[in-house]
Chain A
Amino acid sequence: MTTLLFTSFFALIFLRIPVGFALILSSFLVIVADGLPPNLVALRLYEGLTPFPILAIPLFYSLGLLCNSSGFTERIMMLARALVGGVRAGLAHVNIVASMLFAGISGSSTADTAGIGSVIMPQMVKAGYSKPFTVAVTACSSTMGNIIPPSILMVIYGAFGNVSIGMLFLGGFLPGLLLGFGQMALVYVLARHYDFGVEDKNERPPLGRSLLRGVLPLGVPVVIIGGIVGGVFTPTESAAIAIFYVLALSAFVYRELTLKSLRGLLQEGGRFVALPLIMTAAAAVFAWLLAYYQFPEAMVGVMEEFGASRYGVLASVVFAFLILGCFLDTVPAIIMFLPIVQALGDSAGIHPVQMGVIVVLTGALGLVTPPYGVCLLVASKIIGIHPRQAIAMTLMFGGVSLAVIIFVVLVPEVSLFLPKLLMGKFF
């Protein structure tokens, strides 16, 4: 039955059936073929949407949209310019630093690509950067949106895998910083090699004023992370609080948000959030069936037969998600294979938080790997080139991600140090 489930699913997505619908169709096919009650599909779809932590996903998406239309994103970029705009290849560094700061506010990588990309990409091209380079920097730096907390992918991993979302958030912090600094190092090397100049010398905003202007937006990560780690509220609640914080700031302090733009935002959000979430619910049906047929246990058996060590297990998980990430959306990929990943992790004695951080890191890399990398597609679209043209550059930055993943695999403390330090009593 699992063979039928997988083959029908891959056949359907190959024939361009939308991923969410392909998941439901192949699950339904198996349910009918095995004589299970057909309305099980309805039951499992509802069950996939009922856990309260899942509600954080639409909220974090909305938060990202809201930041982009309320002057938050510009303030963050101003701060990034003041910090690193004056060095060689300044705009590329600004792009990365802005993504790191934005990642601390929003949990969505696509909101990062769209928000920061649409501002900085035209500037970069105007300053003489090649379009493929511009696309690669923008797309790859925005993957940090899902690694530096908060993170939608971690919410999904935690909610479906029953792992503390707060700990996953903390676990992603150091790897996220490493990724950001790694990308900046790569830009530094490339800038020497291609002899990029300093483009931002005169227009650079003064650091003091930018810090002052950026200090209120940076209250968002403090509220979210502080609130969750301190046990004040749940991740879902933290997203709602952050939304009201941004709303209040932009309505009363910045006075940039009008009722009209808010209405447009809500209508856009109301339509848009359903798209990743139907995939979430559909993938939950699929994963339930896999668990029902005890597929995770079978995989553990296979692994044990091979005598795979702890690193063997982690390497195969990373490898599997790298392949999956190329042609599947990251959200359903994580949910579909989560039961297997956890069964493998438990049998090899890997801490669930380390496993979660590794899966999210690899999944986030899938956001930029062709042919199906959402962030790469969005970034290419902004500047009007075919994603294919940016592949070589993107792979170079992908190499940095891969290096960070390997580092987290080899050194568990990178992902476990902060959760132990700050949430040790739950550890």
Chain B
Amino acid sequence: MPLTSPWSILKGLNNRLDRILTVVCAVLLTVMVVTIFVQVLARYVFLASTPWSEEVAVYCFIWVVFLGTGLGVRDHAHLVADLLPENLGPFWEKALMAFSLGMVTVIALVFLWYGLDYAILGLTRLSVSMGFPMFYIYISLPTTGAVMLLFLIERAHALWSGDAGS
């Protein structure tokens, strides 16, 4: 297959997206920990209260969780309850995987569509202590929906072309 097939472009794009999001999550996690630390430090050492710190930490947290959820879709990291026997034969295995991809696609679309719907409400809603629009928090869910879709297309193609993934 030539290098410029749309699938290899998608794969390249997803690889880059994967790396960027991993770094973003690491940075957000760091900011979260440091902010909470500063909050305690400020309270006891500088005797100052920092009303913004809890908000910053919670908002970083929300972004980390949703972006990480998107990343988990790419490498099958989300936990599955193993209730069915392990190997049901190639046909059923493939059918179950296809069903699972379909259902997660529904989730991605719900995140994208209704997440956006909700995010727009956030344009006029301000955060309690810092006073910026909640839109910047609420946009995390539709963003994740879009990221999940990109990863899901890649996985669906892999499944279709015989490579069962994992």
On chain A, the residues within 8 Å of B72 by CB distance are 271, 274-275, 278
Residues in A41-62 with C-beta less than 8 Å from chain B: 41-43, 45-46, 49-50, 52, 54-55, 58-59, 62
- Tell me if B25 and A21 are in contact (CB < 8 A): no
- Tell me if A16 and B37 are in contact (CB < 8 A): no
Shortest C-beta distance, A275 to chain B (Å), equals 6
Find the residue from A38, A233, A241, A278 having the highest chain B CB count within 10 A. A278
- Chain A's interface size range is 35 or more
- Residue on A nearest B43 in the bound complex, by CB: A233
- Tell me if A269 and B36 are in contact (CB < 8 A): no
Question: Which segment, of A7-15, A307-315, A400-408, faces chain B?
Answer: A7-15
- Residue on A nearest B117 in the bound complex, by CB: A39
Task: Say yes or no: is B71 at the interface (Cβ < 8 Å to chain A).
Answer: yes
- Tell me if A42 and B39 are in contact (CB < 8 A): no
- Tell me if B37 and A266 are in contact (CB < 8 A): no
- Tell me if A240 and B36 are in contact (CB < 8 A): yes
- Tell me if A13 and B83 are in contact (CB < 8 A): yes
- Tell me if B137 and A270 are in contact (CB < 8 A): no
Task: Say yes or no: is A212 at the interface (Cβ < 8 Å to chain B).
Answer: no
On chain A, the residues within 8 Å of B96 by CB distance are 15-16
Question: Which segment, of B7-15, B62-70, B158-166, faces chain A?
Answer: B62-70
Alpha-carbon distance between A83 and B97 when the two chains are bound, in angstroms: 50
Alpha-carbon distance between A363 and B40 when the two chains are bound, in angstroms: 32
Task: Say yes or no: is A24 at the interface (Cβ < 8 Å to chain B).
Answer: yes
- Tell me if A19 and B36 are in contact (CB < 8 A): no
Shortest C-beta distance, A386 to chain B (Å), equals 10
- Tell me if B33 and A273 are in contact (CB < 8 A): no
- Tell me if A266 and B64 are in contact (CB < 8 A): no
Q: Which of A28, A49, A275 contacts B77 (CB 8 A)?
A: A275
- Tell me if A49 and B82 are in contact (CB < 8 A): no
Alpha-carbon distance between A26 and B138 when the two chains are bound, in angstroms: 22
Task: Say yes or no: is A243 at the interface (Cβ < 8 Å to chain B).
Answer: yes
Alpha-carbon distance between A45 and B67 when the two chains are bound, in angstroms: 14
Task: Say yes or no: is B84 at the interface (Cβ < 8 Å to chain A).
Answer: yes
Task: Say yes or no: is B57 at the interface (Cβ < 8 Å to chain A).
Answer: yes
Alpha-carbon distance between A41 and B62 when the two chains are bound, in angstroms: 15
Alpha-carbon distance between A15 and B117 when the two chains are bound, in angstroms: 30
- Residue on A nearest B95 in the bound complex, by CB: A15
Q: Which of B40, B71, B83, B141 contacts A14 (CB 8 A)?
A: B83
- Residue on A nearest B114 in the bound complex, by CB: A39
On chain B, the residues within 8 Å of A244 by CB distance are 33, 37
Alpha-carbon distance between A370 and B36 when the two chains are bound, in angstroms: 38
On chain B, the residues within 8 Å of A329 by CB distance are 79, 81
Alpha-carbon distance between A154 and B34 when the two chains are bound, in angstroms: 24
On chain A, the residues within 8 Å of B81 by CB distance are 13-14, 16, 19, 327-329, 371-372
- Residue on B nearest A281 in the bound complex, by CB: B65
Shortest C-beta distance, B147 to chain A (Å), equals 12
Q: Which of B61, B82, B107 contacts A24 (CB 8 A)?
A: B107
- Tell me if A270 and B110 are in contact (CB < 8 A): no
- Tell me if B138 and A243 are in contact (CB < 8 A): no
Alpha-carbon distance between A237 and B64 when the two chains are bound, in angstroms: 18
Shortest C-beta distance, A332 to chain B (Å), equals 9
Given A62-B29, A270-B22, output 20 extra A-B contacts at Cβ < 8 Å.
Answer: A13-B81, A15-B84, A17-B103, A19-B81, A25-B107, A41-B114, A46-B138, A49-B65, A52-B54, A237-B40, A243-B37, A267-B22, A270-B25, A271-B77, A272-B68, A273-B64, A274-B66, A274-B67, A275-B69, A278-B69
A-B contacts, 13 of them at CB < 8 A, read A12-B103, A16-B81, A16-B82, A21-B107, A50-B58, A59-B33, A270-B27, A271-B68, A274-B25, A274-B65, A277-B65, A278-B65, A371-B82
